């Protein structure tokens, strides 16, 4: 199942930079592991925002929820999920 996911990161302004840096490092490692596994297919930055659009390829809604809720930045994110289906005019 394919999903388009928009993630907006909203770190507290008073969060110490050392804490933020640790969370971001763990986030990067986890995201890269998911990309290597083929679950996180694409990851695109939104220009001028602390946000991204991503494509996930997972077995179920529950699997996606588990992956997203395990992101170290999850407590600081606003997430919007859109399920995707193949378009009948697509050649891929």
Which segments of the chain are extended strands (E)? 2-9, 40-45, 51-57, 77-84
Q: Bridge-partner residues for 2, per DSSP?
A: 57, 84
Judge whether 44 lies within some domain: yes
* End-to-end CA, the chain: 16
pTM (two decimals): 0.93
Judge whether 14 lies within some domain: yes
Judge whether 33 lies within some domain: yes
Please name the residues in contact with 41: beta carbons below 8 A apart, sequence gap of 6 or more: 2, 35, 54, 55, 56, 57
| Tens-digit pLDDT profile for residues 23-80 | 999 999 999 999 999 999 999 999 999 999 999 999 999 999 999 999 999 999 999 9
CATH of the domain at 17: 3.30.70.1060
Q: Which domain holds residue 49?
A: 2-84
Judge whether 70 lies within some domain: yes
Q: How many domains does the chain have?
A: 1
Judge whether 73 lies within some domain: yes
Judge whether 40 lies within some domain: yes
């Amino acid at each position: 199942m394919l999903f388009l996911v928009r993630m907006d990161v909203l770190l507290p302004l008073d969060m110490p930079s050392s804490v933020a840096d640790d969370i971001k490092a763990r986030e990067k490692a986890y995201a890269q592991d998911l990309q290597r596994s083929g679950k996180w297919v694409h990851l695109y930055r939104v220009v001028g925002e602390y946000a991204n659009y991503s494509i996930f390829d997972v077995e179920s809604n529950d699997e996606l929820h588990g992956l997203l809720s395990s992101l170290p930045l999850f407590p600081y994110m606003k997430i919007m999920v859109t399920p995707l289906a193949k378009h009948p005019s697509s050649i891929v």
